[in-house]
Amino acid sequence: MKKIHAEKYILFLFMVALALVYIVPFLMMGLGSFKNQAEAAKFDLSLPTQWIFSNYTHVLESGKIIPGYVNSLIVTVPVTLISVFLGAISGIVISRRNDKLSHGIYYYFIFGLTLTLQTASIFFLLQALHIYGTFLSVICIFISLRIPFTVMTFCSFVKGVPREIDEAAIMDGCNFWQMTLKVLMPILKPIMITNVVITAIDVWNNFMIPLFYLTKSSKCPVTLAIYNFYGQYARDWQYVFAALTLTVAPMIILFLCLQKYIVGGMTSGAVKG
């Protein structure tokens, strides 16, 4: 009994230490965004001697953060909606069929998780399609990268949903789309929200793909806006911290609001199927 309590205590201390690894940088960034230049450059967790809220005003006025927000939303929203919807439909169909074709398609999607981004070939493909440098090109790339993960998680979750629900819906006169949208989708809410949050965070925070495939500064998402802002204010860490806080705040709020569904969705997807 004492050994079990000791193991739980050690595990608790380990989890606290692991949490601090993630929390401390956010605290340093948040506190630093309200400090003056000298205090922010110390990179510590001390409270500001004077809370300078004008740092955020300066960043919003000179950092092009608002246009970056708009551009990030233009990319993030359609990628999230389309990839989650297509992943849900594919996951339902693949998990409900029990033949070699569906198994092959499933492993085809899983194979996509192992592939890396082929920068040069995608560049020539986008040029051939005359969409290089457009939001559409970046949206298509992100959707192709997110689909394998969404299909895998939806397949795992749907396999834990009794087939009797499908049969009852069909007996009540539902066609495929009615059964999917009105019957199964509400059941899939946990894994759906999990994929929404994970996809939104991944796309919102991505730096390399917009850097490679968006050519105009007017189309820069918030990550590139922060990159350009840092080049101008590399010594003014109070402004850099404020800009970074504005960048991560929407995704942190989204995660905190939906975290209970994320835990439920990932747990169900891990143990079912």
The stretch 264-272 carries a mean pLDDT of: 50
pLDDT value of position 42: 87
Contact 137, 213 (CB under 8 A): yes
64 φ, ψ to 5°? 55, 35
Q: Pick from 93, 141, 84: which is nearest to 261 by CA?
A: 84
| Contact present, 245 and 30 (Cβ < 8 Å) | yes
List, for residues 165-186, the tens digit of each pLDDT value.
888 888 888 888 898 888 888 8
CA 249 centroid distance within chain = 13
Label residue 265 by pLDDT band (50, 70, 90): low
- pLDDT-derived band of residue 16, with 50, 70 and 90 as boundaries? confident
Given a cut of 50, is residue 270 above it in pLDDT? Answer: no
At position 42, the amino acid (one-letter code) is: K
Label residue 162 by pLDDT band (50, 70, 90): confident
pLDDT at 127 over 70: yes
Better-predicted residue by pLDDT, 117 or 92: 92
Rounded distance between C-alpha atoms, residue 141 and residue 197, angstroms: 18
Of the candidates 227, 199, 57, the one whose C-alpha atom is nearest the C-alpha of residue 142 is 199
Q: What is the pLDDT of residues 48-89, one digit of tens each?
A: 989 999 999 988 888 788 899 999 999 999 999 999 999 999
Averaged pLDDT for residues 260-265: 65
Confidence (pLDDT) at 222: 92
Q: Which pLDDT does position 83 carry in this prediction?
A: 95
- Contact (CB, 8 A) for 115 and 154: no
* Residue listed under structure tokens 């590139």: 224
Structure token digits, residue 185: 């989708």
Q: Are 47 and 110 in contact (CB under 8 A)?
A: no
| pLDDT confidence of residue 241 | 92
Average pLDDT value over all residues in the chain = 87
What pLDDT score does 4 carry? 62
